[in-house]
C-alpha cells in the first residue's frame, strides 16, 4: 500500500470514530508503529488530524450554518448560477447538489423546457415544483437544516440515476485543481460524478483561499467538464487541465 492509500485509510477510520488510538491504527492497517506515526505526522502537518493522549482525532472546522452561507458572496454566486444555467439544455436531466452556490441556479432553471432536476436540496424541490419543473428528491436524512439531505439512503437513491449533467459546489478547492469535500457528502458527490456525462464545478473565489483542513480530496479538475468561477486561474493551470473549460464570470 502506498503512503497516499494509507493516509486515506487512516482518515476513513478516524472520520468514522472521531478518535482512535495509534495502537488501534497499527492493528487495523497491519503496519508498524513507526510507519503509522510517520503517516500521522503528515496528516497533522496538513491540519487534517490532531494528535492527543496516545491517539488522534479529527480537526473540526467551525462551519458557517447553512442559512448564513446562502448570503455569503451572494453577488458572485448569482453570477455563477446564471452562467451555469447556460450549460443546461432543454430536455436535459441533471443532478444539482444541495450547496448554496448551486441553489442560485434556481430562478434561471425555470426558463428551461422539459428538464428533470434530481437533487438532495429540499428548497430546490419546493421552488422548482411551483414552476412545473419535473423534480426528483433523493430523500435521506436531514444533514443540514432546513433543506440539505444526505446519508446512505441519499447515496443509494442517486446511484439509480444516470444524467446528462451534474452541477455541484464544495467547501473548498486548491488553486492547483484539487477539489475537497467533507465526509458528509463525499460519497454522494462521487456517485453523482460517476453517473453524469458532464460535470460542472461551481465556486466563488473565496473557496480557493481556504485550507483543505479536514476535508477529503474528492478529485482533480480533470474529472470536471468545466469550472465556473469568478476566480482568475493562472494560464499554467489551464494548460495543465486541457480537457477542462475554465469559465470566468
Most confident range, picked from 12-16, 30-34, 160-164, 207-211: 160-164
- How far, in Å, CA of 77 to CA of 205, rounded? 10
| Top-confidence residue, 83 or 41 | 83
Q: What is the enclosing helix (H) or strand (E) of 43?
A: helix 33-45
Please tell me the pTM assigned to this model: 0.76
Beta-carbon contacts of residue 34 (< 8 Å; ≥ 6 apart): none
Give pLDDT, residue 70.
63
Asked, as a colleague might, if the bond just before 146 is cis with ω within 30 of 0, I would say yes
- pLDDT tens digit sequence for 87-121: 999 999 999 999 999 999 998 999 999 999 999 99
Average of per-residue pLDDT values in the chain: 89
pLDDT per position as a tens digit, 120-161? 999 999 999 999 999 999 999 898 888 999 988 999 999 999
In contact, 202 and 169? CB cutoff 8 Å: yes
Judged against a pLDDT cut of 70, whether residue 206 lies above it is answered with yes
Which pLDDT does position 212 carry in this prediction?
A: 67
Nearest in space to 53 (alpha carbons), one of 80, 11, 23: 23
Q: What percent of the chain has pLDDT over 70?
A: 92
Q: Residue 213: pLDDT band by 50, 70, 90 thresholds?
A: low
- Delineate the domains of the chain, giving CATH numbers in brackets: 3-58 (1.10.10.10), 66-248 (3.40.50.10470)
Amino acid at each position: 500500500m502506498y503512503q497516499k492509500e494509507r493516509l486515506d485509510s487512516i482518515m476513513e477510520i478516524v472520520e468514522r470514530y472521531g478518535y482512535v488510538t495509534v495502537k488501534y491504527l497499527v492493528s487495523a492497517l497491519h503496519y508498524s508503529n513507526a510507519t503509522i506515526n510517520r503517516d500521522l505526522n503528515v496528516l497533522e502537518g496538513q491540519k487534517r488530524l490532531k494528535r492527543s493522549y496516545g491517539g488522534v482525532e479529527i480537526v473540526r472546522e467551525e462551519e458557517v450554518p447553512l442559512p448564513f452561507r446562502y448570503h455569503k458572496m451572494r453577488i458572485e454566486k448569482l453570477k455563477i448560477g446564471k452562467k451555469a444555467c447556460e450549460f443546461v439544455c432543454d430536455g436535459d436531466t441533471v443532478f444539482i447538489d444541495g450547496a448554496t452556490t448551486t441553489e442560485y441556479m434556481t430562478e434561471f432553471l425555470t426558463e428551461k423546457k422539459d428538464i428533470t432536476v434530481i437533487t438532495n436540496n429540499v428548497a430546490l424541490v419546493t421552488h422548482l415544483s411551483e414552476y412545473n419543473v419535473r423534480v426528483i428528491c433523493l430523500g435521506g436524512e436531514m444533514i443540514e437544516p432546513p433543506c440539505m439531505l444526505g446519508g446512505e439512503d441519499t447515496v443509494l437513491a442517486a446511484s439509480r440515476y444516470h444524467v446528462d449533467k451534474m452541477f455541484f459546489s464544495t467547501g473548498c478547492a486548491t488553486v492547483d485543481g484539487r477539489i475537497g469535500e467533507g465526509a458528509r457528502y463525499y460519497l454522494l458527490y462521487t456517485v453523482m460524478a460517476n453517473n453524469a456525462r458532464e460535470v460542472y464545478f461551481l465556486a466563488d473565489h473565496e473557496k480557493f483561499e481556504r485550507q483543505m483542513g479536514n476535508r477529503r480530496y474528492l478529485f482533480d479538475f480533470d474529472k470536471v467538464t468545466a469550472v465556473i468561477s469568478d476566480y482568475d486561474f493562472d494560464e499554467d493551470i489551464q494548460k495543465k487541465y486541457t480537457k477542462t473549460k475554465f469559465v470566468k464570470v
